[in-house]
A = this chain, B = another copy of it.
Amino acid sequence: MQFADRLNNVETSAIRELFKLLGKPGIISFAGGFPDPAMFDVEGLKQASSTALNEEAGAALQYGATEGYQPLREQLGSFMAGKGASVAPQELIVTTGSQQALDLIGKTLISSGDKVIVEGPTFLATIQCFRLYGAELISAPIDAQGVRTDELEKLMAEHQPKFVYLIPTFGNPSGVMLSLERRKKVLELAVKYNTLIVEDDPYGDLYFGAPPPPSLLALSDTVPGSRDLLAHCGSLSKVLSPGLRIGWLIAQPELLAKATMCKQFSDAHTSTFAQATAAQYLRGGRMPATLAHVRQVYADRARAMGEALRRELGDAIEFEQPGGGLFFWARLTGAHGGLKDAGEFAKRAIEQGVAFVPGAPFYAANADASTFRLSFATADVAKIEEGVARLGRALAAA
């Protein structure tokens, strides 16, 4: 069977091989990008779905508008307003997870050979998603304050990309937070180069101490002309439940209309059953307490992981303590003649009973093979300490 040419652009085996090993009994996994199911507000979602089926079964079980279920669009508008971004219901469409928002951006915008700038490293599924539509990805370097805007500007000037894709807040995998100053700079670059910025923001609500700076979307009011050059992807997956598959895309009207047209032929619309449930949940007012709880638990786990890493691995690795999100991003230093290859480290870690993801596949180009990602989301503090101790043994075994 001859498959479509676009499939030649993607390569998915890199992490898959490692994930096969995760089934090993007793393994402690820092590998996933999943929230902890113990934190799902099952009771609240039960009430929400029950209310949806009691009060609006006809709509919740029927075909719906491709743009999204209107009560949910309204709730999501309010949710965004609570985060400082003024978004009318008609300025967003509901997507089947924010993965679909990325897919629709690709489908709507990318012609074969178009250049797209992403962070190095960036979300793995974004790389593959955009490549499937024929994008040539350019990798912009990051540091502890997020993407380096000086380098980003050079790349924008040189490559004239179709758009720039960023995860400014607690990015996957980097965990870093783009500084306020650089956020403003990114918006200025959008205007200066008349280039669309795609802001992916699934983690912004998961902060541990002070809230992060406003999203690019919320800040766009301060940079004239930038709002129309901004697409924003949101998601309930990390804060409420991935299983609902509720994401959203905010963009200027023409782009939103084209994305809606593409969505019509992708899946007609997102499950109205899930949308009505999410709308009832948001309306029910439990979200602030849910977020507070999730933040607290993840903050404890992140602190425990940071302390354990410093204790058990010392100067063999370097990392920034994340201020939110789900991930540590670390680099093997090779100190004292130690290991520098994170792929090799991952294999030995599995032998010691702990899993994580090597960093190389997260780079669209110029992969740094000494990097790796650790998620602290699904293991409790005791498991985190035991898992990091195993990491220490794996490194010592090297």
* Chain A positions near chain B (C-beta within 8 angstroms): 1-7, 10, 12, 34-35, 37, 40, 42, 45-46, 49-50, 53-54, 57-64, 95-97, 99-100, 102-103, 107-112, 114, 125, 128-129, 132-133, 162, 196, 237, 241-245, 252, 254-255, 258, 261-262, 264-274, 276-277
Q: Are A58 and B46 in contact (CB under 8 A)?
A: no
Q: What is the bound-complex CA distance between A3 and B97, given in angstroms? A: 23
**B53 near A42: Cβ-Cβ < 8 Å:** yes
Residues of B within 8 A of A95 (CB): 267
27 contacts between A and B (CB under 8 A): A1-B254, A2-B162, A3-B109, A6-B111, A10-B261, A37-B57, A37-B62, A40-B57, A40-B61, A42-B57, A46-B53, A49-B49, A49-B53, A62-B243, A63-B243, A95-B267, A96-B270, A97-B267, A99-B265, A99-B266, A99-B268, A128-B265, A241-B273, A243-B271, A243-B276, A266-B267, A267-B267
- A300 CB to nearest chain B CB (Å): 21
Q: Give every chain B residue within 8 A of A102 (Cβ-Cβ).
A: 265
Q: Are B265 and A107 touching (Cβ within 8 A)?
A: no
Residues of B contacting A2 with CB < 8 Å?
A: 162
Known: A49-B273, A97-B267. 15 other contacts (CB 8 A): A7-B262, A10-B265, A12-B261, A34-B63, A45-B53, A49-B53, A61-B241, A64-B243, A99-B265, A103-B266, A107-B132, A125-B265, A132-B262, A245-B267, A266-B267
Bound complex: CA of A58 vs CA of B97, how far in Å? 18
User: How many chain copies does the complex carry?
Assistant: 2
A125 — which chain B residues lie within 8 A by C-beta? 264-265, 268
List B contacts of A6 (CB < 8 A). Answer: 107, 111
A45 neighbours in B (Cβ, 8 Å): 53, 57, 61
Collect the chain B residues with CB atoms within 8 Å of residue A40's CB. Answer: 57-58, 61-62
Question: In the complex, what residue of chain B is closest to A131 when comparing beta carbons?
Answer: B265
How distant is the Cα of A101 from the Cα of B129 in the complex, in angstroms?
17
